[in-house]
Structure 1
């Protein structure tokens, strides 16, 4: 099979287990092939954990699931030094962060010290234990789930950490037909879905090299820049009302990752060039966690997605 056939095989195997989450699967693949972490937000029961677990099985990558809880310690995540009386010295015991795919389940239930420990791994792809830094395996991908912050027992994630996530994907309930299919599948208490491994590490490297060859015109590169600057200075683009709603816009990291995500989207669509539709498709997920709204926006029930859609509708492509 060629690379695109293997991608279709991955999607097919995941659909054997997961129902009605095509967009979620697409976003996870974009994160995988671009090396970007993905944050998933939604109420419990939307198959977030199941989808990530299934992806790890299909890809034949080293996988760890970490349940984040209020009593979790940084050493529970990265590891610690343990004294060995026979040797008379300390040995390193590595934590579960040493894997290629990390499922950080309910990430916003852990306190700030744990989030700080995870931040180094996400940003630098390394972990420091004692005086020594250890490189993490490649690819290293954090796929985190979080419950809405209004729920009891949750902590808002630090802005610096949220910005390390390439995308924040909001999940909605299934349709009636999709939920009917879930109910029918689970009516058999002995039902076991065992997806096959259809892609390995070398396949991922091959696909990433092919994505590097995807072309994007200078016109679309400048369009990405205009979109990012419109989040920072809406008034410069005639969005005077939105200027009152936005406190801070997207960071330069958003510029880089919007470009990468658009290229992966084009690749998954079977093209070797980027279209404006590719940028618009992924822009909401790239930008929605990077725009900080003012109190006025919250008072008027204006969301970041509202702002992003207005920007996409307003900013023109200068050919």
Structure 2
């Protein structure tokens, strides 16, 4: 079912590859990244001001920590943004940042950060993986991924989702998730995407999975069995990710990209629309430093 919604612009600027929106209720701020511009952005809802911080690595997923710091998976590592705008290393995944980079991620109910990797250039074989950053270090949890995306967790913590947006796959998988052990089991196809490709995702309070259908210009909502409930058309063809935000978590923030579009007026903008439902407060990252503390600054 196609459902029209009133869509507004939160930030009218052409991000090359806007991604990873993150709602920070304590600061009344929305964070996101521009992957290609190597920047972390934030919109302050009190002032309406948007500011940017350059990153010394290619940025990927964002997560709030229990200490209120913003954490960012970028390059092949996980970093904490300090108060002075530098980056402290929390952990590093195996592999070279010259060939791979961190992409999409989600924090589980135990405070672990699950982040996948994608190759910087197309590869003939699957080389991406999903990593678990926890207090016990960094673990490779899933391998054989082409273009990892759509990582999300159900409100009860029992179901874990991962998508592969490679054009040859376009699939969303679901796993049974043992939160206490941090183990994924029983992988099955949750939804085979027929319109566009599955990019970033979020799960609402009812356990329904919402994803950005890149190249189709849609936000699609699936019920807990993977059946399409509604498709919301957007004024751009390449939405990338979404997050519930606001005082009652009923609004959706949608990041978009301008790369690969043909002069679309709002391509690369940060959009917002009412969801008609509510999200749920996302877990916080609960990690100390897993290695020697290192500080990085953008040049």
* Interval containing the TM-score (normalised by the shorter chain): under 0.3
Larger Rg: 1
Using the size of structure 1 for normalisation, the TM-score is 0.25
Structure whose residues are more often strand by fraction: 2
Using the size of structure 2 for normalisation, the TM-score is 0.27
Structure whose residues are more often helix by fraction: 1
